[in-house]
Structure 1
């Protein structure tokens, strides 16, 4: 539901798009009348919006224009947008597509009095390699409709790019001041958005009440730079447009509760794929990229791997995303399944046709998946070789964030058999089903499609034979050893559970048994606390053979701990078995009666084949020298490789109030034999050697986890130079054993 300003109608509803040329013809008295009618119509309109998927919510006179959040400007009555002069130094135009205005404008507004109609429009841009941008101002061409305005203020968001849509948010600025300069809204950022090289999305969103002020619309642009603009309406108030005439849009048009292609989500006119905007600020060849918005100083600073929840929309969302260069790779190789040997075929290496595309997928086996299979367009065909003819069990590894999706599986060109794919919890969680197929000796084809328009198959990671599960490489154990003191210098370990469903883990605080490995001064009686993402204490233990009931611990755990196979070797050590929902968690290790010594905190994944997984671990502790450096360990399990980043954080802890941060941490990575395989001192200068064969600065920046100060990118131990001591954080974002050494001080790993 949306407000329309049309010559042929007198009723008003909330709209996605408006027509400025028609608006200009309305006499002032008629506009006031329309606004009064809008106020009266809102309760009825909002009540109707509850009947999602029906025609009851459509209370618009459709004469002249469909029910869209788009305002039609018209070729002869385009407002005289003043193209602002280039700012003087030091500020400069970083990116400019404040040109070529289209005939329509799209709603992008936070409406506190009508939250179901709050929406976001976004467009993308690229920061060139070797540059770091500090964005201080965002200019957007816009107009008011269904009311006189003005906006109270503006919100500005920047996102990483996932496929052809916005991904994780990397910057958020709420309630920013602005100036309306003849239809160009100049929004000044109170804190600059600092962006390293890569593709990003910017969203400009007006904050104002609909009933009193109306709507704000962001003017569309003819011509396309990078991907087409995106739009989302999380509250679902608008519903799907009745028509979406832009080329490639599916029918029925998508209802974009999550990000989708704006032209299809709002029914925008063809030929207007972008938004008009300009970025102003400064640029440099180096600097400090803005950390992700979800970063937390302790225990998991900036620990947010790139998700792909929006990479593949629900069945009717953005069905025709622009394919990337890898959209239709040819098949590469046909390994032959052998009895007892796990043989895998990656979806991105299969044959793609129609609208099927390769997408990034951090949780998939090779970091990629295939989406947009189905809707009578996209197909995915595997070439499979069998040693002998017969029946084979094939495991299909897929991702599905909907309740269920369907596909036809055709073997060697035969009639397709329907296959249902239950939800895996999200489009970033890999699940599996098994089917029996009859193969011929030699080469065979397995093809997936869905011939029903608007119906989509799931995303595909791979298929495999003689592999009962789809578990790729996972982090099966995460641990850190350091010297535990008191006060701010206790050991604080953080980890993140991602995906869907519960993750069963055992968390341990080890001290006394370290002495049998020759480690001096072990902590003789460690205690363990587990906190959730809000900081609330949810479990605790002091001596694993005596369970403390409370929080998530509801019964004696001694037998459960024994059954895990990871029971501590000393009765004074602590352990907790927990079933954890996806989220952030913190484990704190202290000594009983404020005792001090070397301890180990660790978490074991007790069910690596569940829908959830351990994605990040970080530990904050006091780093000393000799045997008291910080040593982090992790175990990579599975049959695939795992790409990770290992960081040693020190200097930037000061901004979070952590005293005595380690000012110059170094990092080393050792394999299971103890051999040094990688090292780093200052992340902007790569140390070539071992598994590091090329400059990693760009890779670190592209990971979204570049340190604000000096940190390291892949797993390695941390050390301090010249015997210093301080606090440090060790961060493991999908990685192996590392150490950190430095001068005395605190550090986060």
Structure 2
């Protein structure tokens, strides 16, 4: 026999259910807001209260607009540039006065080309404070020689340095330049902090790899990742394997004249009104250069109507087409391009920041050359053509 619920009891149960739903709705609001707050790239706060101990990473920060800092003024030039392909996470690289076993080191590698000596005078690194407001007490910079794909002997150190901050960009000016001859090196940027009042600093991860993936270590073991010595941050330490590198730029001078950045920006139309950029290679030996056609990236700098999908052609002095590209992550074989160039473009430090942009690496003998930019399917918009000297 079916049991009947008295109306008064039923009403009580309905009211109770309503209050429960209401309470759940109210309690969900702070959680949602906290999750949304972590998309702030200046100071990420994954939780509303400070965690008891330092963490490996900020957790997912979400998509963000990353504005690369302007290039250093002459005589400094960008010696090496990985300020592109921003990921969504940061990884801690800091010391802690109150949690020394949580001290963590993070480093990424680069190459000084043969025949060059670099005087590194400043470093730009993208990052955020998380689990606290910052700022750091001061900063450390270390350079290491390469040892079989990992940091080896330390060749330079500058500890307790000040920093200049602009949004998520942190610039360290070195009072004594780091002088680096040809070879492979690793750079580490590390914040000195008190966790209880300042939180942590994380170095922004990058979605593509140049040379070797970044490495990380926590010698005291306080962060629980098990990487007490240098190990691959993503593959071994399991800290965001999908974003294996770090975002940074090295600035300074070199012993050899270097084409820093010759560029032309224009509104690209159709037919005869495409963008044409000419340049001349001089000397007795071929010059290795990267030519880029940039469009979508321009929107983050406030440029209106950027070209959505620029394509690039390279012509020699006779007008003959010798190379072309549409989307730098897909190589077009033909002319002077005989093999896939994607990894070479990444390793150059000048990979475009958007997959729909174009790039060509070429070894060019002395002569006149022309780069032509136009839009896919006769689209129009503002584009930038650039040439960098890779020697």
Q: TM-score range by the shorter chain?
A: 0.5 to 0.7
Aligned pairs, how many?
Answer: 225
Question: Are 1:228 and 2:243 counterparts?
Answer: no
Structure 1 unmatched runs, 5+: 1-6, 11-18, 46-67, 241-254, 287-749
Question: Are 1:197 and 2:182 counterparts?
Answer: yes
Determine which of 234, 237, 243 is the counterpart of 1:263: 234
Question: Are 1:167 and 2:175 counterparts?
Answer: no
What does residue range 458-537 of structure 1 map to in structure 2 within 5 Å?
none
What does residue range 15-26 of structure 1 map to in structure 2 within 5 Å?
23-24=38-39
Which residue number corresponds to residue 359 of structure 2? none
Which residue number corresponds to residue 246 of structure 2? 275
Whole-angstrom distance in 2 between the partners of 1:187 and 1:197: 23
Please report how far the alpha carbon of residue 98 of structure 1 lies from its aligned counterpart in structure 2 after TM superposition. Answer: 0.8
What does residue range 45-84 of structure 1 map to in structure 2 within 5 Å?
69-76=56-63, 78=64, 80-84=65-69
Whole-angstrom distance in 2 between the partners of 1:194 and 1:264: 31
Question: Are 1:141 and 2:126 counterparts?
Answer: yes
Q: Deviations over 1:84-141 (max 9, x none)?
A: 2222210111000011101111000011111000101000000000000000101100
Which residue number corresponds to residue 100 of structure 1? 85
Aligned to 2:115, what secondary structure does the other structure show? coil
Please report how far the alpha carbon of residue 269 of structure 1 lies from its aligned counterpart in structure 2 after TM superposition. Answer: 2.8
Structure 2 unmatched runs, 5+: 1-26, 258-391
Q: Deviations over 1:28-52 (max 9, x none)?
A: 9x989603xx4xx45xx9xxxxxxx
Which residue number corresponds to residue 108 of structure 2? 123
TM-score normalised according to structure 1 size: 0.28
Whole-angstrom distance in 2 between the partners of 1:215 and 1:21: 19
Whole-angstrom distance in 2 between the partners of 1:145 and 1:256: 22
Q: Deviations over 1:68-97 (max 9, x none)?
A: 612234443x2x332122222101110000
Whole-angstrom distance in 2 between the partners of 1:24 and 1:84: 20
Displaced runs of 4+ in structure 1, greater than 4 A?
A: 19-22, 30-33
Please report how far the alpha carbon of residue 203 of structure 1 lies from its aligned counterpart in structure 2 after TM superposition. Answer: 0.3
Question: Are 1:179 and 2:164 counterparts?
Answer: yes
Question: Are 1:150 and 2:169 counterparts?
Answer: no
Please report how far the alpha carbon of residue 22 of structure 1 lies from its aligned counterpart in structure 2 after TM superposition. Answer: 5.2
Whole-angstrom distance in 2 between the partners of 1:33 and 1:278: 33
Please report how far the alpha carbon of residue 259 of structure 1 lies from its aligned counterpart in structure 2 after TM superposition. Answer: 0.3
Whole-angstrom distance in 2 between the partners of 1:188 and 1:21: 34
Which residue number corresponds to residue 711 of structure 1? none
TM-score normalised according to structure 2 size: 0.53
User: Alignment RMSD, CA only?
Assistant: 2.8
User: Judging changes above 3 Å, is the alpha-carbon distance between structure 1 residues 147 and 93 closer, same or farther for their aligned structure 2 residues?
Assistant: same
User: Judging changes above 3 Å, is the alpha-carbon distance between structure 1 residues 148 and 123 closer, same or farther for their aligned structure 2 residues?
Assistant: same
What does residue range 401-480 of structure 1 map to in structure 2 within 5 Å?
none
User: Judging changes above 3 Å, is the alpha-carbon distance between structure 1 residues 196 and 163 closer, same or farther for their aligned structure 2 residues?
Assistant: same
What does residue range 329-408 of structure 1 map to in structure 2 within 5 Å?
none
Which residue number corresponds to residue 719 of structure 1? none
CA contact (8 A) 1:222 1:272 kept: yes
CA contact (8 A) 2:58 2:131 kept: no
User: Judging changes above 3 Å, is the alpha-carbon distance between structure 1 residues 73 and 202 closer, same or farther for their aligned structure 2 residues?
Assistant: same
User: Judging changes above 3 Å, is the alpha-carbon distance between structure 1 residues 33 and 223 closer, same or farther for their aligned structure 2 residues?
Assistant: closer
Whole-angstrom distance in 1 between the partners of 2:35 and 2:127: 11
